[in-house]
Amino acid sequence: MTKRQFIAHYVRMNRKSYTLAIIFIFLVNWLQVEIPRYIQLAIDLIDDASNVGHQQLQTYVGVVVGMSVAMVLVRILSRMYALNPGRVTEAALKNTLLEKLNRLPNSYHEKFASGRLISIINNDVMGIRLLFGIGFLQFFNTMFALSLTPVYMWRISPELTLYSILPISIAFVIFRVGFIRMKALHMEHMNRLQNLSAQLMSYLSGVDLIKSQQMSGWVSAEMEKLNQQLLRCRLRITRIQVFFMPVLDYANDLMKILILGLGGYMLMNQALTLGEITAFLTYSVLLAMPLMQLGRIATVYQRGIVGIQSAQTILNAEVPANDQSELSATDVESLKGQTFSVRNLSFQYQGETRRVLDDISFDIPAGKKVGILGGIGAGKTTLVNCLNHHLDVPKSTVFLGDKDVTGISRSDLRRYVKTVTQDPYLFSATVEENIRFGSPHADVAKQQVDEVLELSQLASDVARLENGDQTLVGEKGIMLSGGQKQRLSIARALLEPADLIIMDNVLSAVDYETERKILDALFQRLAHQSVLVVSHRVNALEYMDEIIVLNEGKIIAKGDHITLLATCPYYKETWLLQQHEAETSVC
């Protein structure tokens, strides 16, 4: 979508409001230029002492008053219909951007920091709102004013009109220079604002580390650098606005001097009447108002165009072809209860030469409970992100039944696969609302929410909270402990059934006893569903149907707990070490 197509799309969306706005803006400007004409006629009748002249004067005064009242009402309507599309466009665009961001793959989000995307949606879209609101209003207001007002001035005195336009023409040349300079500076300003937002988000997400490592001074210095760069850019824009944009105001003042000087001379020579020179001065004021708005229009236009360019980085991003398609109803039913298979999967991150996963193969049949054991850096989380297609995996390596997952859209795949991560994200909402995020249906019964709270061993903790499951958990669940966050994320995953539930080291923040209770309850609840539990704890995997031992990206052993104790030294050594640690912690 080009900028022209973007603007045309949202203009069409608001075409009814814009049409009415243009009509009312024209009426406002027509009334503005008609009122001085009747003032002129009224002033020229002041010296007429006849009854007819007196009655005509009263008529003109009544017309001026009536038109003024009408102009107020019409101006209100013009503001309503011209400014509302800006808000409508902002709301529609934000929804479109959020929908697009949800469809874009992980590879896109790796290129753009969250803070930069937030800045685009908040700051840059605000410029688009101004363009489609106040920018539209001021553009047509200026266009009608600059077309109607000179015509009425020309009717009074063509010669005086030409002299009046001369300083304005010179001012426009200077204004154009400043306008071109501002375009580049507004682009730089938006980029620096995005960089500042991205860096701030990064520091806020690592605020605990910054405090523990006493890095506050360094972070403050880095933020000060970015702030100073943004300030210098903003000052350069302000200098242009101060020195170049007011040139139109100066031209307006010069125009008034010319009108008073030449108009007074023509009045003395009886080339103009007192009413005509009064009306001409009024028209000069009406002409000055849109001229003064040109600087604001230029700023709004530049911000809007820069905002459109930023929004296009999201709107024009390519969604993978498979994510644009949807499974048919027949395919949806046929894939239920199918085996999840991995065949010779190897994976390495972009820019790295080392393989994080090397020739991985295994199956997860329907209803089977599989565990993956591995130390730090073994490739467990990377494997999980390949299984749920969070990462772009090679073709013919991961299958759901006989269907390659690379040919299934991510939204369709997540009907069958749910992932509970080791770093759960909670919204600044209540406990119940966070659980309900696990279902696309709004009519989930309260009984189902209570049931999954019991299964995740969180019900007793929630009961102790001040407002129970209506307690706000805060941003990212700041009001909850690490174990409570993990159990809440498990409850959210259990709310809606799925063929395969992947639990990526989600019980690392709970004790062994709670961990065992959660797993027992889960296996009873998920008797007919497949479960993949990823952990570095052997105790969490003892009762799995099959355990896969992962080390340095390779599978070094498979089997149940008893078999691996007898055949895999790495597994036995890990189990003995963790048993010793558990006994020591109890003592």
Collapsed DSSP state (helix, strand, coil) of residue 215: coil
* Beta-carbon-side half-sphere exposure of residue 40 (alpha carbons within 13 Å): 19
Determine the Cα–Cα distance for residues 87 and 17; give it in Å rounded to an integer.
Answer: 12
Give the whole-angstrom CA distance, residue 450 versus residue 454. Answer: 6
Q: What percent of the chain has pLDDT over 70?
A: 94
Give the mean model confidence (pLDDT) for residues 533-542. Answer: 80
- Check residue 83 and give its pLDDT: 92
Find out whether 371 and 535 touch, Cβ atoms under 8 Å.
yes
DSSP tag of 374: -
What pLDDT shows up at residue 582? 57
Name the most confidently modeled range: 15-24, 188-197, 320-329, 388-397: 15-24
How far apart are the C-alpha atoms of 554 and 551, rounded to whole Å? 5
As a whole-number percent, the residues of the chain with pLDDT over 90 amount to 11
Residue 41 pLDDT exceeds 80:
yes
CA distance 304 to 148: 27
pLDDT tier at 526 (50, 70, 90 boundaries)?
Answer: confident
* 204-208, 232-236, 363-367, 531-535: least confident range: 204-208
Distance (Å, rounded) from C-alpha 515 to C-alpha 539?
9
Residue type at 151 in one-letter notation: V
* Distance of alpha carbon 476 from alpha carbon 425, whole angstroms: 6
Q: List, in sequence order, every residue forming a beta bridge with 373; answer none if it has no partner.
A: 535, 549
User: Is residue 581 very low, low, confident or very high in pLDDT (cuts 50, 70, 90)?
Assistant: low
Mean pLDDT of 420-430: 81
Model confidence band, residue 469 (pLDDT cutoffs 50, 70, 90): confident
Task: Answer yes or no: are the C-beta atoms of 105 and 320 closer than 8 Å.
Answer: yes
pTM exceeding 0.85:
no
In this prediction, residue 509 carries a pLDDT of 62
User: Do residues 373 and 548 touch, judged by C-beta distance below 8 A?
Assistant: yes
For position 26, what pLDDT does the model report?
94
Tell me the DSSP string of 24-48: HHHHHHHHHHHHHHHHHHHHHTTT-
Residue 400 three-state SS:
strand
Q: Is the pLDDT of residue 587 over 60?
A: no
- Extract the tokens encoding 27: 């009426």
What does the pLDDT read at residue 376? 80
Residue 16 has pLDDT above 90, yes or no: yes
Q: Are 418 and 500 in contact (CB under 8 A)?
A: yes
Kindly tell me if the per-residue pLDDT of 294 is higher than 80. no
Res 249 pLDDT > 80:
no
* The pLDDT of residue 442: 67
**pLDDT tops 60 at residue 586:** no
Give the mean pLDDT of the chain: 82
Neighbours of 570 (CB within 10 A): 15
Residue with tokens 């608001």: 14
**DSSP calls for 409-454:** -HHHHTTTEEEE-SS----SSBHHHHHHTT-S-TT--HHHHHHHHH
First to last CA, the chain: 66
Confidence of residue 489 (pLDDT cuts 50, 70, 90): confident
CA angle 579, 585, 587 (to 5 degrees): 105
The per-residue pLDDT for range 42-80, each reduced to its tens digit, is: 887 777 667 777 888 888 889 989 999 999 999 999 999
More confident residue, 323 or 436: 436
Please name the residues in contact with 301: beta carbons below 8 A apart, sequence gap of 6 or more: 131, 135
Neighbours of 353 (CB within 10 A): 6
Give pLDDT, residue 105: 78
